[in-house]
Amino acid sequence: MCAAAFDRAALLATASEILDSATPRFVEGVGAPSAVQKGRGDFATALDLELERTLSRQLLDRTGIPVHGEEFGGPELSSGTAWVLDPIDGTFNYSAGHPLSGMLLALVDDGQPVLGLTWLPLLEHRYAAAVGGPLLLNGKPLPPLESGRLADAMIGFGTFNIDAHGRIPGRFRFDLLGALSRLSSRMRMHGSTGIDLAYTASGVLGGAVVFGHHPWDNAAGVALVRAAGGVVTDLRGEPWSITSRSVLAAAPGVHEELLEMIDSAVDRAAERDDPAERDENSEGTQ
């Protein structure tokens, strides 16, 4: 069933109640150790699994909409309607007792988030929004984002390992961090995509650079930023959808400057990695 057939305000209220009901258990479990190794440098706690089972069951029972969770998967997300759930975002923070962690939930319709909820129980902050806004913080609407300048903004930056390979290599992330440091001295690494995007939506951050592509990390925050009047694309400037491989989210004005900076960094990386360019440069220095 298409999400347009649902009462989005009612779904947002129901989802909020469900996340509220899980908040005491989330707070109680802070400091939970690793229980499941998911890959190099990644793990889940037993509470990740418990919360996903509990929340998924309640969402399905009360809304009739299936759930795709980080730990147990679910329906395909590029078509149809489904909830997307991350029971604990910022797992390293959570396991270490760091307060920057939370629960992320989005309703996705044909690859686009139409509802977003980011619950940060240890900070007592609850962000929620439906497409079109407004952005709600603890139930109260926040003003839309105003246009800004990168030089005046704090920017959330995704974590990285300079030796990492893959879709967005660590070396490029390092180069991007250096380029960003020349334009803004207010960069932050929170270790939580949910935090970065919720803070961008509320104006605490001017923008966020997200290298991860997992829908459970990104969908809720994308909905929040859009509802607040921000701009969301991937790092290439293409409109964001559930299949996007990265996120660039920011206030108007700041997004344009960030995208220009990234384009310049891509050009410099291409020159550095081009064998012909390297040969030409080496001949000029002999």
How far apart are the C-alpha atoms of 118 and 128, rounded to whole Å? 6
pLDDT (tens digit per residue) in 25-49: 999 999 876 555 554 555 577 888 9
Least confident of 41-45, 63-67, 264-268, 280-284: 280-284
Q: 84 and 127 in contact (C-beta within 8 Å)?
A: no
CA dihedral 16, 207, 151, 147 (to 10 degrees): -70
What is the reported pLDDT for 274? 55
Q: 208 and 247 in contact (C-beta within 8 Å)?
A: yes
What is the reported pLDDT for 141? 98
pLDDT (tens digit per residue) in 136-175: 999 999 999 999 999 999 999 998 778 877 788 888 898 8
What is the reported pLDDT for 33? 67
pLDDT (tens digit per residue) in 166-205: 788 888 898 898 889 888 868 999 999 999 999 999 999 9
Say whether pLDDT at 260 is over 50.
yes
Q: Enter the pTM of the model.
A: 0.90
What is the reported pLDDT for 104? 98
Q: 26 and 19 in contact (C-beta within 8 Å)?
A: no
Percent of the chain with pLDDT over 90: 71
Q: What is the mean pLDDT of the chain?
A: 89
